Structure 1
Amino acid sequence: MKKLIYLLAIVFIFSACSESFLETAPDDALSPSTFWKSKKDLDLALTGCYSGFEDGGTLMYRDCGSDNGYNNFPWEGWTAVGNGNLSPADPGASYYGFGTINRCNEFLLNADNATTVPEGDRAIYKAQARFIRAYKYYSLTTNYGDVPLITENFATPEDAKVPRDSQEVIRKFIEDELTAVIAILPASYSGAEYGKATKGAAQALLMRYYLYFKDYPKALATANSISGYSLNPTFTGLFDPANEQNSEIILSVQQTADLSAIDFTPFLPNGIGGWSSVVPTQSLVDAFEMANGKTIQEAESAGEYDPANPFVNRDPRLRATVVYPGQVFGDKIYRSVEVGSNDYYNKADNASKTGYNFKKYTSFMELDSGAPYWNMGSDIFIFRYAEVLLTIAEAKIELAQIDAALYTALNTVRLRAGMPAVDQAKYADQSSLRKLLRNERRVEFAMEGLRRDDIIRWNIATDVLNGNLMGAKRGTVLATTQPNGDYNVSMTLPANLIESRSFVAPKNNLLPIPQNAIDKNPKLSPNNQGY
């Protein structure tokens, strides 16, 4: 039901909608004399707002702008974001657009014309549009800094030629809007309306906003105010398409097969028909601890880690997140390190250049290797409760509140994943806990679109996004197996060089305003620093 409405809105109302000639002026307004009369009208128009507010594939691609991932095909836009070769003329994957904001403005202008809908219900409709608009402005300001604040649509092209507002103005708008709608939005909806913005979604966005801008007291208070959610019992089960509406999910991008499907072809290995567009880095693989909680460096010093057979006794989230050499995936042994394999880095354009593929969200291939991966109905998560718990932990660390609540938040996430509780003797001060927390966020949320923002707000992007990006060491998949069914490997041959990456701060902390937007509206100049 909910997903059919999504399609109807996209096809029936906003199919002709596009970013306008000035990037800020709408060209798809609906006539108040013929629309905006009934609940059905509000449902269709609001669904048009939802249809453009987030994209599941973009969330997964976004990790390629960090040290977690690599985008194999430059024309998809994320290679340049990852290696820093951006310019206004070639801005890479762009978030710069106001189409969804325009639709929300149109909705908010006209929703109260539907007087047959009770006022309280109209307030909830409007609160959802305000949430979507705030979400888009959060994305705009974290990626571009100063942007035009458009709360009412323009009447003429000349009116739409407006300058950028300061990030301080945008931030105040986001905070004020979210604070207001939290008091209006319901905690949940009926099953047919699952996927709409709730009070919890607005709280989660406000929490993320505070964390990004380092307002740790408010981030902690907001995270602690979120209730009604709990972790899914298992990490692997969290990403089972049959379990997409589990208790951990606060908000997700809604997908359904045949109607508004997601195509996982870009994420799957060449050997089973995928494109390997988005692949994990060796750095990400190395970030997963051993199953006993030691880092791989600590384990190697203790004789407990073999770099030639590196996937033995690792954090279970590694196997749930990454397809690595020797793993059985899609009824085939993944042999990316072997010359001649269809997944060897130079065997085909669609072979992973890092020697790894992402597995998160595609574990359905283990249950049914013949699943139509190009036409899946798997929802992609925007906010989940694990982020709330790790926000509590991070805020407490930054506020130097080293207490039981901090360890409980960390341990709840780790224990669910099958990892041991935090060693409180080893991780007892702010510095060691900060390092642990940052790594925990990295491995928990890999491929969920959070890593780039994290490394920028932590001011470590220059440390982790400069230098050569190397693939996995090459070698052989052996005939012996591990207890989990994976085959042992011998990876001793040199790794391949993929690309050289550069991140210069503060330039690369923001993306460039696309030149075509500035050409349409010269008042957007000057561009962000360094572009």
Structure 2
Amino acid sequence: MKKIYLLILPILLLLVSCSDFLDRKPLATATEGDLTVGGVEGKVFGLYGDLRAEGVSGLPYAFMHTMRSDDAIKGSTPTDGAAYEQIADYYKYNKAESWLTLDYWNAHYTMINDCNDILQLMDSLKLESAGDIINRAETRFLRGYAYFDLVRTFGAVPLINFKIYNIGDANIEKSTVAQIYTFITEDLAYAAAHLPSSWASNYAGRVTNGTANGLLAKVKLYQKDWAGALSLCETVINSGNYSLLGSYDKFFTEDGENSSESMLEAQNYVSSNGTTSYNNNYNGSQGVRGSGDWDLGWGWNVPSQDLVDSYEAGDPRKTTTILYSGGSDGYGLTVPASLGSIQPYWNRKVYSNPARRAATGIKYANWLNVRLLRYADVIMMAAEAANESGNSAKALKYLEMIRARARGGANVLPAITTTDQAALRAAIKKERRAEFAMEGERFFDLVRWGDALTVLGSKGYTDKCKYYPIPQTIIDKAQGKLTQNPDW
């Protein structure tokens, strides 16, 4: 079994101080007594538990980031979460309270609140050692990450960058999208300047300056700062700290976790006998919905027919991404054809090795890490930013890096050669879909490209759907300080 670190239980209560909980020794390999740098390092470890919270990287994450795109449909059975099918597949958004959307909002603000608590503590104790500065940088990265999710999903949101002492302190007006992006940029730039380039193996999963630069590049890309995005991507690429795995398929297995291609993962763990676990429901909620040996999950968030039909001929990424009812699982087993009566396709990127299941008797693959940022994304962002900057030669170089790895030596996926900016833009968009299908990028890509209405309009999408309405429960508790998103 692999070793996993930074496994602190998530804190799920919105706007509640984390100090009492984190005074306990972290439930991981490293404890406060083992730490050698940074006076609050144990508390910072707790933030990685927040990253693993269901609302941050579990089913609510899949719902907001993937199920709303043309890559996926709600899945499962018609009677299982029927209301969510209307939201995810037909854009009939509901501002009333629901556990998926409310948990997404609450868990992100819990993470932000916990970051603010740590930063306030560091300020009050004037902690400025070299280790403390790294801890501050980790904290600011994770806060910036949480706000990036929120601003992409909801648009303008309250900017809380201070410790909450009384619940009423959180009742503030929304900041603009531009203000939120400025704040995210400041947090990530600080993180990039002060985080190390790597960690020892016993700290697998901790963020690095490459992680910060990679996410900051994405922030720049969303703002159409092509030069800024390209510069940051090339800083990561030229660092030599990351590389694409030889096999696309391997990245989504246990062997691919915290690998040279990984830049940020929510760290999950389940012991071999299932008695110890730190995980969320991201994998189990998407597992094959069957019976007996094929009762592997709830069957939510499944590939759409549109995604199945979108791949180029022979693209090996198709079989890595899509598990077919009645087809091979890639490990020597055949998925029962009878499961096609529930769903014809399943998300293979959350599918576990049957040998692991057989050896432990555990079927839901909740031990698999959730991939949140990977090196291939940095390369694809570099290709896009280069093309938009008018440098087709550089864009083609980066695009070929992705296609070469994808084809794996097979005579498929011919190199793209066009230097026409519009044609190359279309090729890059198509490549992003194939490379990151079912990984939470597609919906936001369509929105930022201005393609969402064209691609999703026939399913009910309108311009107001680019931002999800703030849960009405949150609006009500704000006592008039927080207004709903436009048109909702």
Do these two structures clear the TM 0.5 threshold for a shared fold by scoring above it? Answer: yes
Amino acid at match of 2:230: L
Asked if residue 392 in structure 1 is aligned to residue 382 in structure 2, the reply is yes
1:394-418 CA-partner distances (Å, limit 9, x unpaired): 1122222211x22121111111111
Q: In the superposition, relative to structure 1, how do residues 165 and 325 fare at CA in structure 2: closer, same or farther (>3 Å)?
A: same
Aligned-pair CA distance for 1:366: 7.8
1:253 and 1:379 in contact (8 A); partners too: yes
Q: Offset at 1:64? A: 0.8
Aligned-pair identity in percent equals 27
Q: Tell me, what secondary structure is at the counterpart of 1:214?
A: coil
Map 1:166-245 to 2 at 5 A: 166-226=176-236, 227=239, 228-245=241-258
SS of alignment partner, residue 350 of structure 2? coil
Question: Could you tell me how far apart the structure 1 residues matched to 2:180 and 2:223 are?
Answer: 12
What amino acid maps onto 1:444 in structure 2?
E
- Sort the Cα spacing of 1:2 and 1:331 in 2 relative to 1 into closer, same or farther, 3 A: closer
- Shift of residue 158, structure 1, vs aligned partner: 3.4
SS in 2 for 1:143: helix
Relative to 1, partners in 2 of residues 1:2 and 1:316: Cα closer, same or farther, differing over 3 Å? closer
Farther-moved stretch of structure 1 (77-86 vs 203-212): 77-86
State the match for 2:295 in structure 1.
Answer: 273
The residue aligned with 1:488 is none
Q: 1:132 to 1:335 in 2, by over 3 A?
A: same
Q: For the structure 1 residues 32 and 344, does the alpha-carbon distance in structure 2 shift closer, same or farther, using more than 3 Å as the test?
A: closer
Q: What is the aligned counterpart of 2:14 among 9, 16, 19? A: 19
DSSP-derived class of the 2:169 partner: coil
In the alignment, is the contact (CA less than 8 A) between 2:400 and 2:415 conserved in 1? Answer: no
Bigger helix share: 2
Which of 271-280 and 405-414 deviates more? 271-280
Corresponding position of 1:344: 340
Deviation at 1:99, TM superposition (A): 0.9
Partner of 1:437: 428
Specify which of 270, 285, 288 is matched with residue 311 of structure 2: 288
1:86-116 Cα deviation digits (max 9, x unpaired): 132156534323111111111011135668x
| Alignment partner, residue 153 of structure 1 | 163
1:409 aligns with 2:381: no
Contact map agreement 1:396 1:402 (CA 8 A) in 2: yes
- What residue is the counterpart of 2:28 in the other structure? none
3-state DSSP of counterpart to 1:188: coil
Measured in 2, the distance between the counterparts of 1:281 and 1:34 equals 45
Which letter maps to 1:243?
Answer: G
Structure 1 position 47 matched with structure 2 position 37? no
CA contact (8 A) 2:47 2:115 kept: yes
Whether contact under 8 Å (1:411, 1:421) holds in the other structure is no
* Other-structure match for 1:296: none
The 5-angstrom pairing of residues 52-63 of structure 1 reads 52-53=50-51, 54-61=56-63, 62-63=65-66
Structure-1 separation of matches of 2:7 and 2:289: 32
Give per-residue Cα distances to partners, 1:56-102, cap 9 Å, x unaligned: 55554431110001113437957513421113215653432311111
CA distance in 2: counterparts of 1:519 and 1:179, whole angstroms: 35
What is the distance in 1 between the residues matched to 2:226 and 2:391?
11
- Aligned to 2:146, the other structure's residue is in SS state helix
Q: Is the 8 A contact 1:64 1:79 kept in 2?
A: no
Select which of 264, 277, 299 maps to 1:259: 277
1:333 aligns to what SS in structure 2? coil
Q: Which has the larger radius of gyration?
A: 1
Aligned AA for 2:304?
A: T
The one-letter amino acid of 2:334's match is: I
1:222 Cα deviation after fit: 0.9
Instruction: Go from structure 1 to structure 2 and tell me whether the alpha carbon gap of 1:448 and 1:280 turns closer, same or farther (over 3 Å shift).
Output: same
Q: Given the alignment of the two structures, is residue 320 of structure 1 paired with residue 320 of structure 2, yes or no?
A: yes
Segments ≥4 residues shifted beyond 6 Å? 31-35, 366-371
- SS of residue paired to 1:323: strand
In structure 2, the CA distance between the partners of 1:251 and 1:523, relative to structure 1 (3 Å rule), is: same
Amino acid across the alignment from 1:460:
D
Structure 1 CA distance for aligned equivalents of residues 208 and 426 of structure 2: 33
Gaps of 5+ in 2: 26-31, 271-275
SS in 1 for 2:194: coil
Unaligned runs of 5+ in 1: 21-25, 291-313, 346-350, 468-500
* DSSP 3-state at the match of 2:265: strand
Give TM-score, length-normalised by structure 2. Answer: 0.83
- Asked whether the 8 Å contact 2:192–2:212 carries over to 1, the reply is yes
Distance change (3 Å), C-alpha of 1:247 and 1:278? same
Shift of 1:160: 2.7
Q: 1:99 maps to what in 2?
A: 110
- Stretch deviating more after TM superposition (211-220 or 510-519): 211-220
Checking the alignment, whether the CA contact within 8 Å between 1:65 and 1:82 is kept in structure 2 is: yes
Deviation per CA, 1:110-146, whole angstroms, max 9, x where unpaired?
A: 135668x871101101110111111111111111111
Q: Taking structure 1 as reference, are residues 269 and 5 closer, same or farther at Cα in structure 2, changes over 3 Å only?
A: closer
Q: C-alpha deviations, 1:463-500, integer Å up to 9, x for none?
A: 22233xxxxxxxxxxxxxxxxxxxxxxxxxxxxxxxxx
- Residues paired across the two proteins, number: 447
Residues 234, 79 of structure 1: alpha-carbon distance in 2 compared, 3 angstrom cutoff: farther
- Alpha carbons of structure 1 residues 49 and 5: separation in structure 2 relative to 1, 3 Å: closer
**What SS does the corresponding residue of 1:357 show, helix, strand or coil?**
strand
State how far apart, in whole Å, the 1-side matches of 2:166 and 2:336 are. Answer: 59
What is the CA distance between 1:29 and its match in structure 2? 4.6
SS at match of 2:199: coil
CA distance in 2, matches of 1:410, 1:262: 34
Aligned to 1:110: 121
Deviation at 1:236, TM superposition (A): 1.1
